[in-house]
Structure formats: structure tokens, C-alpha cells
């Protein structure tokens, strides 16, 4: 399905809609700017209705695993106070869209206008339900027109969100265009890129490289590439921290950039890894059992992952792994490299003594994102500084690695600052 001009259209209408889109975009850009307050008010009202249960049936019909968690997160992020906090944090508490500079004596003041980039093309990844809508929301609050190419794995949640938002605020219809264009339709995606002043791409190296090839040289690229995250445990870790880490692994299914892929222990000894697995295994099993997947797709994915894991164990010379079940597994490894886990609560466990943090992690610096740090309080600051020096952009508790916080940077930078431009005007 396509969303354009405030209405849904069949995918077969794509060519016709794209043919008339440039004129439509120019007409919108020539009109009055979209005020942030208009967007914030609409999103806040949407959040209130979600919290009241108005969309429970729509959400249930989409058959998303962990739908309640997504609802709780959405309610938190859609609140006015959180949206306004995000704007203040990312654009500055004294943000002014139109002001005069106050230069040193003898220099002429300059008028400074802050404007949206214009048209943003969002190429979203399908590893998180709601991510496409979140990306477009950031474009909206900065006044941009937004064209969204849905990921092929989208389950319909994005269209439901935008349809509800337009019902609340019809003025946003000229600022939201959604296409379910497959990635193989290069011609249509190139046409969208030609219309854009900025391209926001979420995805791995292949997706980013493809966008770089067809983007116009003057188009701003805003890349949110795939990242790797891990937990780092040092000293005697309380059971509550381990329980929170286990729930994180199960709830996120390790599909997010902020999901834990490797559990690192601050040790040189393999026997410490085995002792940790003995302790953590029943905790992980309980978390996995409490949150068994319910949708057919998630069950099928888990079954395939488990079967593949067993085959790999046989090829490695064993018949089974000591910390493995159909729902989860712990996989101790001899090396210290940061890498992607088998996912779905099948997590790698490795040694990384603190003196090796920099040489090991800097090899993966382009991909580093979140470290879930659990350690004695007296050591937290020193380990935080070490992880930051290694290239991490987020340091949290293990259980909150994937909890979104309004105003938080994306991979080390504030997105709203990248979605605006500065115009200097001589007076």
C-alpha cells in the first residue's frame, strides 16, 4: 500500500503518484512552514489515545511479538514533555529560527535563519517495529517533507501510525508520503532520491553503499548504519543485573543495534566463562520461558535458528552444547572479537580483560554502539572512560541497553541537527 495526499492507494498506483510528486512537493515548500508545535500537538494526542487503548485492536491485529512493550515505549516517546525535551536537548534551549548575530566591534551583524533541509527520503530497516515511523517523526518536528520507503519486513504498523496521525492533524498530509516499494525497484527509488534534499538510510553496509551509488552528489546523506553492542561484566555482578540482562536478550531477540551480541567478562580465564554460564543459564532459561514467541513467524525463525545451532555444534565435533535449549543458548568462545551472535537469545560469551579493551574494541570501532556495563560502583567511572575511549557511543546498565531516551544521540550525534540547515542573510 501507498500513503499519499492523506489517502491510501494500491501499490499499482506508484508510477502515477511519483510522476506528480515533484509538483506537489514544490507547492508545499512554497507555502507556510510546518510549525513544530503542530507536529508536537498531534503526536502528543496520538500518544494519549494509544495509552487509553484506542488502538489496541489495531495493534493486536498486526500480531507483533512483544506488542505490550512496544505500546509502553510508544506512549513514553509520544508525550509532549518528552518531545519538547528532545527539541531542547538536540537544538538547544535557546533555539531561535530567526535571529541576528552579535559579532565583535567593527563587524556587520548577520541574520541567521534556521530552515528544514526540505525533503527527506527515509530508507528504513526492518529490524525494529515502529522504526520507520520514528524516523519520519524526527523529520516532521524539524519541518521537513518526508518520503518513506518501507522495509520489506514492515508488518503494517507504520501505515497504521501515519493514518492515525493524519486523522488527528490533516495538515500533515502534505508532509508524509509512504511507499511499499521493493528494494529491487531501483528506478522508483532513484526517482524518490532525485526529489530529496537529504536521504536518511538505516541499514547495513550494502544498503548504505547502494544509496551512495544512486544519490545525487549534492544530496545530504544521513547514515544510520548497523552497529554492534555488548554487555561488559566485571567483578561480582548482582543477580538483579543478570536478570535484567536476560530479559533484554529475550525481549529484543538481539535484533536491534543496541542489543547485546556478546557478553564480555573481565577475565583471562576460560574457567571463569564456564562458571558464569553455569550461573547465568537458569536465569536466561527463566526469561526465555516467560516470553515464549507467539506469532507464527517468530516461532518459525526460532526453530530455524535452533536447528542451525545444533548442526553447527555437530560440525564442530560435538553432539550438543551444555548451555542450550530450543529457546536460548550460551555459547562460550576462545577469542575476544566483537561479532554478531546467532540472535534470538543465543548469546556469545567471551573474555575481555580491561587491559585489552582498547586494542580489541578499536578493531570494531566503525560498528560500536552500546555497552551494558555492570561492575563494582568504585570501578564504574574508570571503565566508563575506557569504553568511551574505545569508541562506544552509549554506556548503560545491561538491562536498559535498548531503552530509548528522548533527546539521546544516535550513534554519537543528534539527528535533529542533521535535518536542518543554516541560512545566513546579509542585512
Mean pLDDT value across residues 242-247: 97
Whether 358 contacts 351, CB under 8 Å: no
Whether 227 contacts 411, CB under 8 Å: yes
In angstroms, the CA 113 to CA 131 distance is 30
The residues with which 225 forms a beta bridge, in sequence order, are 203
In angstroms, the CA 372 to CA 415 distance is 23
pLDDT digits (tens, 9 = 90+) for 142-158: 999 999 998 876 767 78
Count up the domains in the chain and report the number: 2
In angstroms, the CA 273 to CA 333 distance is 9
The CA radius of gyration of the chain, in Å to the nearest whole number, is 24
Phi, psi (5° rounding) for residue 290? -75, -20
275 lies in the same domain as 420: no
Residue 420: inside a domain, yes or no?
yes
419 lies in the same domain as 364: no
Side-chain-facing half-sphere of 403: CA atoms under 13 Å? 14
In angstroms, the CA 425 to CA 113 distance is 8
381 lies in the same domain as 420: no
pLDDT band of 129, cuts 50, 70, 90: low
We report the CATH number of the domain holding residue 221 as 3.40.605.10
* pLDDT, the chain, mean: 88
pLDDT digits (tens, 9 = 90+) for 347-372: 999 999 999 999 999 999 989 999 99
Whether pLDDT at 389 is above 80? yes
Phi, psi (5° rounding) for residue 305? -60, -45
106 lies in the same domain as 234: no
SS3 141: helix
pLDDT digits (tens, 9 = 90+) for 157-182: 788 889 989 999 999 999 999 999 98
Find cell 514533555 and name the residue. Answer: 81
192 lies in the same domain as 268: no
Closest CA to 420 of 177, 123, 118, 145: 118
Cell of 97: 529560527
pTM, to two decimals? 0.84
Amino acid at each position: 500500500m501507498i500513503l499519499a495526499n492523506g489517502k491510501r492507494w494500491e501499490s499499482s498506483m506508484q508510477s502515477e503518484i511519483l510522476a506528480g510528486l515533484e509538483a506537489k512537493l514544490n507547492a508545499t515548500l512554497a507555502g507556510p512552514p510546518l510549525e513544530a508545535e503542530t507536529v508536537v500537538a498531534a503526536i502528543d494526542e496520538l500518544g494519549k489515545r494509544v495509552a487509553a487503548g484506542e488502538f489496541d485492536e489495531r495493534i493486536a491485529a498486526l500480531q507483533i511479538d512483544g506488542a505490550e512493550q512496544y505500546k509502553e515505549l510508544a506512549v513514553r516517546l509520544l508525550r509532549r514533555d518528552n518531545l519538547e525535551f528532545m527539541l531542547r536537548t538536540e537544538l538547544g534551549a535557546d533555539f531561535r529560527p530567526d535571529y541576528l548575530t552579535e559579532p565583535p566591534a567593527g563587524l556587520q551583524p548577520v541574520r541567521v535563519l534556521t530552515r528544514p533541509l526540505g525533503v527527506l527520503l527515509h530508507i528504513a530497516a526492518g529490524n525494529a517495529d515502529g522504526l520507520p515511523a520514528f524516523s519520519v517523526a524526527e523529520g516532521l518536528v524539524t519541518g521537513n517533507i518526508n518520503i518513506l520507503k518501507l522495509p520489506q519486513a514492515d508488518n503494517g504498523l507504520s501505515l497504521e501510525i501515519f493514518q492515525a496521525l493524519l486523522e488527528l492533524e490533516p495538515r500533515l498530509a502534505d508532509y508524509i508520503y509512504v511507499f511499499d516499494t521493493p528494494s529491487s525497484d531501483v528506478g522508483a527509488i532513484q526517482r524518490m532520491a532525485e526529489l530529496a534534499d537529504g536521504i536518511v538510510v538505516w541499514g547495513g553496509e550494502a544498503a548504505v553503499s547502494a544509496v551512495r551509488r544512486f544519490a545525487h552528489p549534492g544530496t545530504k546523506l544521513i547514515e544510520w548504519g548497523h552497529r554492534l553492542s555488548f554487555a561488559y561484566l566485571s567483578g561480582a555482578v548482582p543477580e538483579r543485573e543478570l536478570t535484567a540482562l536476560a530479559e533484554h536478550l529475550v525481549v529484543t531477540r538481539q535484533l536491534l543495534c543496541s542489543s547485546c551480541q556478546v557478553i564480555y567478562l573481565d577475565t583471562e580465564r576460560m574457567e571463569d566463562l564456564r562458571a558464569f554460564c553455569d550461573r547465568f543459564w537458569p536465569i536466561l532459561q527463566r526469561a526465555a520461558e516467560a516470553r515464549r514467541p507467539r506469532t507464527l513467524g517468530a516461532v518459525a525463525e526460532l526453530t530455524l535458528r535452533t536447528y542451525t545451532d545444533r548442526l553447527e555444534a555437530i560440525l564442530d565435533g560435538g553432539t550438543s552444547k551444555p548451555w542450550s535449549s530450543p529457546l536460548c543458548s550460551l555459547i562460550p568462545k576462545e577469542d575476544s572479537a566483537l561479532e554478531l551472535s546467532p540472535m534470538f537469545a543465543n548469546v556469545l560469551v567471551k573474555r575481555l580483560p580491561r587491559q585489552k579493551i582498547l586494542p580489541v574494541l578499536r578493531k570494531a570501532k566503525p560498528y560500536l554502539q552500546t555497552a551494558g556495563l555492570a561492575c563494582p560502583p568504585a570501578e564504574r567511572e574508570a571503565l566508563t572512560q575506557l569504553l568511551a575511549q574505545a569508541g562506544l557511543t552509549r554506556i548503560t546498565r545491561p538491562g536498559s541497553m535498548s531503552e530509548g531516551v528522548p533527546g539521546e544521540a544516535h550513534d554519537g550525534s543528534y539527528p535533529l541537527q542533521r535535518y536542518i540547515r543554516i541560512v545566513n542573510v546579509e542585512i
